[in-house]
Amino acid sequence: MRLKLLCLSTFAIALAQETPNTVPPVGRDQHRSMIVTKFGIVAAPQFLASQAGARILEAGGNAIDAAIAANAMTGLTQPYVNGIGGDLFAIYYEAKTGKVYGLNASGWTPKGLTIEHLKSKGIEKLDPIGVHAITVPGAVAGWDALRKRFGTMPFSKTLAPAIYYAENGFAMPEWGARSWVSQKLMKQPGYANTYVPNGVKPGLGDTFKNAALGESLRQIVAQGRDAYYKGKMASNLVKFLQEQGGAHTLADFAEYEPEWVEPISTTYRGWKIYELPPNGQGIAALSMLNIMETFPIADYGHNSAAALHVMIEAKKLAYADMAKYVGDPRFSPMPVAEMLSKDLAAKRAALIDMKRATCKVLPSEISQSLDARGKETIYLSTVDKDGNIVSLIQSNYAGYGTGMVAPGAGFSFHNRGAGFDLQPGKPNSLLGRKRPLHTIIPAFMQKDEVAIGFGIMGGWNQSQAHAQFVANIVDFGMNVQRAMEVPRFTKGTFEGCDLQMETGIPDSVRLELQKRGHLITPLTGYSSAMGNGEAVMHDHKRMVNFAGADPRTDSGAMPQNPPIP
């Protein structure tokens, strides 16, 4: 009888792996159903954002147009994680050609901001909410680059939903009400007036308006990206930053351009997994998967002690290399090919002791430790009826970022520059017009007729969460919803054996991991420490789209409705 059950179980897993994400699990062991439709879908971390993007699809827009609309709405409804004062990265999959494009819209430092400049002012460490942590925000330039190359709609269409809700207000949702106010930022210039009007924190169901943000978006509608980087808005932003002691100039804004980049990739058991190249951390996700591929993860069982041990140890090894070698490739060469080689992965995998956790790992020697902990980001994905996919991530870095709001702007500046190293000579050392090592990463994966755009936000959580999601899909045959919501682990530090783990992973597994030396902090329920994400999937053979949304935020995947006469 046991052999018969084992055979049936093996057959079920094999069947699920042959038809990824389309075969539901036996019984009801996921909390939400996938969205399934032959029309487009928008999966964003806030339901009004998903709805805004879906409305754009219904109006004839494509996946790019929907992504811009959804992102603009998240900047209004979730300003504690993103907004037009931050940066943006995106992967675009063009269904008709099968080509994958990458956009890096991360901003650079002011030209005059150098280690020497800071030392002349007696600054030995960057204040994470100080003006020197503010790099030129790239989000609006990123929208413009996406729209001009692949979009079909003007900003007057895609920004209209966000402008409406900014000027007329929206009712505060559950997660938003819980996350809205940062007490440490209350004295930052412009913060309280913008987000806590009249000194009253908006609560669940209260209406919140941000007319200043609506006006900023209207200026972008009227003048395009130039409003933000060259117009009256730019002058206002730069004047404000200089008043706070910043080295920013109008030229730093006017001369900024995002960069179209070639995505990097690896294979994982027949799937091709894409991330963006440095200055982002996506290379760590691919390195981690390469190491994991050398172990029979599926045979160990989902979220078993053995499978989790391999993933945790692979994370440490991959992140050690990322911390040593990754920075802005415009300033120093990055050994990308070497870091992604299967030979290196095999050597790194050989360092994993299945019986004992390693609390200190050394980076690879190819031909530091980071303490930046920003984890406040949004991720969204869109797919249109033709199968085009956008995988987009956008961030303030830590919460509201610096919390600094220029007069009349309606948005806070991020603090991405806090991630720079103030010791010279390293890949991530501070220099003028340089982009820092970035945590935010969109992702994409593909096999045969199936394409999936996915991402999970959360600082240094992201690469390890990506690897867990891919294993859920590939090794355990989960659909995109279940793969997103099952319990996860995260390790926010680069050294030590500490990590956090959701209690949905059984006590017996956590006990076994502790016996191997892992120092686990259990987190109940769906924990925000695990980040949150979304995923969309296109089955080209059947021309059907699927989507899943993480229950760890106010997310919701929204399908496009068909035309109604």
What distance in Å separates the CA atoms of residue 89 and residue 337, rounded to the nearest whole number? Answer: 21
Residue 550 lies in a domain: yes
What distance in Å separates the CA atoms of residue 71 and residue 68, rounded to the nearest whole number? Answer: 5
What is the per-residue pLDDT for 406?
97
What is the per-residue pLDDT for 16?
39
Tell me: do 21 and 158 sit in the same domain: no
> pLDDT band at 476, cuts 50/70/90?
very high
Taking residue 564's Cβ as centre, other Cβ atoms within 10 Å add up to 5
User: Cα-flanking dihedrals φ and ψ of residue 170, to 5°?
Assistant: -135, 150
Tell me: do 465 and 531 sit in the same domain: yes
Tell me: do 341 and 205 sit in the same domain: no
Residue numbers annotated as active site: 377
Residue 251 lies in a domain: yes
Tell me: do 490 and 363 sit in the same domain: yes
Per-residue pLDDT for 355 more than 90? Answer: yes
Tell me: do 250 and 266 sit in the same domain: no
What is the per-residue pLDDT for 367?
61
Mean pLDDT to the nearest integer, 411-431:
91
Residue 121 lies in a domain: yes
Structural domain span for residue 503: 2-38+261-270+287-372+455-559
Per-residue pLDDT for 8 more than 70? Answer: no
Per-residue pLDDT for 360 more than 50? Answer: yes
Per-residue pLDDT for 90 more than 90? Answer: yes
Residue 277 lies in a domain: no
Percent of the chain whose predicted confidence (pLDDT) is above 70: 93
Per-residue pLDDT for 175 more than 90? Answer: no
Count of structural domains, the chain:
2
Q: Please report, for the domain that includes residue 520, its CATH number.
A: 1.10.246.130
Least confident of 17-21, 148-152, 546-550: 17-21
Residues 154 and 225: beta-carbon distance below 8 Å: no
What is the per-residue pLDDT for 426?
87
Tell me: do 101 and 206 sit in the same domain: yes
What is the per-residue pLDDT for 326?
85
Nearest to 463 by CA among 397, 521, 533: 533
Instruction: Supply the DSSP symbol for 90.
Output: E
Least confident of 45-54, 159-168, 361-370, 508-517: 361-370
What distance in Å separates the CA atoms of residue 295 and residue 6, rounded to the nearest whole number? Answer: 21
Pairing state of beta strands 489-490 and 498-502?
A: antiparallel
Residue 437 lies in a domain: no
Tell me: do 172 and 307 sit in the same domain: no
Query: What CA–CA distances, in Å, run from 450 to 24, 267, 290, 447?
Result: 16, 15, 21, 5
Residue 449 lies in a domain: no
* 495-503 LR contacts (CB < 8 Å, sep 24+): 495/359, 495/360, 495/361, 495/369, 496/359, 496/360, 497/357, 497/358, 497/359, 499/312, 500/527, 500/529, 500/530, 501/308, 502/526, 502/527, 502/530
Q: Please, what is the average pLDDT of the chain?
A: 90
Tell me: do 172 and 96 sit in the same domain: yes
Tell me: do 75 and 191 sit in the same domain: yes
> pLDDT band at 376, cuts 50/70/90?
low
What is the per-residue pLDDT for 25?
47
Report the alpha-carbon angle 361-506-285, nearest 5.
35
Residue 46 lies in a domain: no
Residue 429 lies in a domain: no
Q: What is the pTM of this model?
A: 0.91
Tell me: do 357 and 401 sit in the same domain: no
What is the per-residue pLDDT for 439?
82
Residues 377 and 394: beta-carbon distance below 8 Å: yes
Tell me: do 77 and 177 sit in the same domain: yes
Mean pLDDT to the nearest integer, 389-414:
95
Tell me: do 294 and 350 sit in the same domain: yes
> pLDDT band at 4, cuts 50/70/90?
very low
> pLDDT band at 6, cuts 50/70/90?
very low
